[in-house]
């Protein structure tokens, strides 16, 4: 029987990784694509540029703390920012379903415009397509982004003893989307953390010169990102469950529906790995920034060559955090 695509192939977990590495990359392979980074690092006549692209199919289109327009800008800007780039320009492609309310489209484009202004980027090109009713679930948005590298950021291999820092509470975006989608707990206050991270990243790079790598934990959350960072390093990462910053509302929702918060998506947080010598200075700088006030050290790189993520639980035990094989909630970005 022919294998077919499932929702789990878009979850950011193991099936998504297999789809990219075994089916897509071998057919498109080139040096710029090989790193599978959040943004491609390109040389154009001796000038470096960073380039990224993303598509947004979130359901519902509007949610507490944001909408698909704001999300499209923040997601693109953040992929550039954590790659060490100052975002400059983005594109905006709209796929609109016929009968979509014009007033709602205007509201979403206004939100997209406001987010772009906040991030300091210009929407310089775009495309609009309209499809038959029932073909696009309202509205899909595709973006691309170009940024200039920030001087002083030179990603390097992670090493045993390096510390893992998260810029704030985990799982806020996916929890907010789930609450809005399922109309769960009307008295429960859950807002997406959707926000552009470019200014936080600039602050971080001014405070510490030995940041090894940065990623934004979107699909698959912190668990997926840490697995990606540990792969091919001959190192493992030990995470302290008690150190993970989680809002009580998010934790309560997870306990109610059986989600694991370490796999919940964010849209306004980053994970970084930094040398132990620069950890205190970096953490202080992050906590002084509005988008990093809840930043915390959550783990440490170890010399274990099995490239695993170990979570030491609040009860003193330990479990392996693998790439997710299924999907907790589809279409969260």
Strand partners, 40: 51
Residues 105 and 189 in one domain: no
Distance CA(91)–CA(53), nearest Å, equals 9
pLDDT digits (tens, 9 = 90+) for 276-315: 999 999 999 999 999 999 999 999 999 999 999 999 998 8
Give yes or no: residues 284 and 222 share one domain.
yes
The total of structural domains in the chain comes to 2
**What is the pLDDT at residue 186?**
62
Is residue 314 in a domain? yes
Residue where a domain stops, chosen among 126, 149, 172? 149
Q: Are residues 279 and 174 in the same domain?
A: yes
Interatomic CA distance for residues 229 and 232, integer angstroms: 8
One domain, residues 171 and 131: no
- pLDDT beyond 80 at 188: no
Q: Which of 40-44, 140-144, 165-169 has the lowest mean pLDDT?
A: 40-44
Per-residue pLDDT band at 85 (split at 50, 70, 90): very high
The answer to whether residues 88 and 52 belong to one domain is yes
Q: Which domain holds residue 264?
A: 163-320
Considering 122, 149, 176, which residue would you say is the last residue of a domain? Answer: 149
**228 and 311 co-located in one domain:** yes
Q: Answer whether the bond into residue 60 is a cis peptide, omega within 30°.
A: yes
Mean pLDDT taken over the chain: 95
Instruction: Please indicate, yes or no, whether residues 90 and 173 belong to a single structural domain of this protein.
Output: no
What's the predicted TM-score (pTM) here?
Answer: 0.95
Do 179 and 141 belong together in one domain? no
Q: Are residues 280 and 313 in the same domain?
A: yes
C-alpha separations of 137 from 45, 98, 132, 192, 293 in Å: 42, 10, 10, 21, 37
pLDDT, one tens digit per residue, over 17-75 is 999 999 999 999 899 998 889 999 999 899 999 999 999 999 999 999 999 999 999 99
In a domain, 7, yes or no: no
Do 315 and 210 belong together in one domain?
Answer: yes
């Amino acid at each position: 029987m022919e294998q077919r695509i499932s929702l789990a192939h878009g979850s950011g977990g193991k099936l998504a990784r297999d789809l990219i590495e075994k089916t897509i990359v071998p057919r498109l392979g080139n040096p710029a694509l090989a790193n599978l980074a959040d943004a491609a690092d390109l040389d154009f006549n001796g000038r470096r540029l960073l380039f990224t692209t993303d598509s947004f199919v979130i359901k519902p289109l509007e949610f507490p703390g944001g909408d698909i327009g704001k999300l499209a800008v923040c997601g693109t800007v953040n992929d550039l920012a954590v790659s060490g780039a100052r975002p400059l320009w983005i594109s905006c492609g709209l796929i609109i379903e016929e009968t979509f309310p014009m007033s709602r489209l205007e509201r979403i484009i206004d939100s997209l415009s406001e987010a772009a202004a906040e991030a300091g980027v210009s929407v310089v090109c775009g495309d609009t397509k309209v499809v038959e009713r029932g073909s696009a679930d309202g509205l899909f948005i595709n973006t691309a982004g170009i940024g200039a590298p920030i001087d002083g950021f030179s990603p390097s291999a992670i090493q045993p003893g390096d510390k893992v820092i998260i810029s704030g509470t985990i799982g806020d975006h996916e929890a907010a989307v789930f609450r809005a989608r399922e109309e769960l707990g009307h008295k429960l206050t859950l807002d997406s953390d959707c926000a552009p991270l470019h200014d936080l990243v600039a602050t971080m790079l001014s405070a510490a010169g030995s940041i090894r790598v940065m990623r934004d934990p979107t699909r698959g959350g912190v668990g997926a990102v840490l697995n990606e960072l540990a792969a091919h390093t001959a190192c493992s990462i030990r995470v302290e469950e008690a150190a993970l910053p989680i809002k009580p509302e998010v934790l309560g929702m997870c306990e109610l529906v059986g989600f694991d918060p370490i796999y919940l998506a964010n849209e306004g947080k980053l994970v970084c790995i930094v040398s132990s010598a620069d950890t205190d200075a970096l953490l202080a700088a992050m906590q002084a920034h509005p988008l990093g006030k809840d930043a915390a050290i959550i783990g440490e790189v170890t010399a274990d060559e099995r490239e695993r993520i170990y979570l030491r639980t609040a009860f003193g035990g330990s479990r392996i955090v693998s790439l997710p094989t299924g999907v907790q909630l589809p279409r969260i970005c």
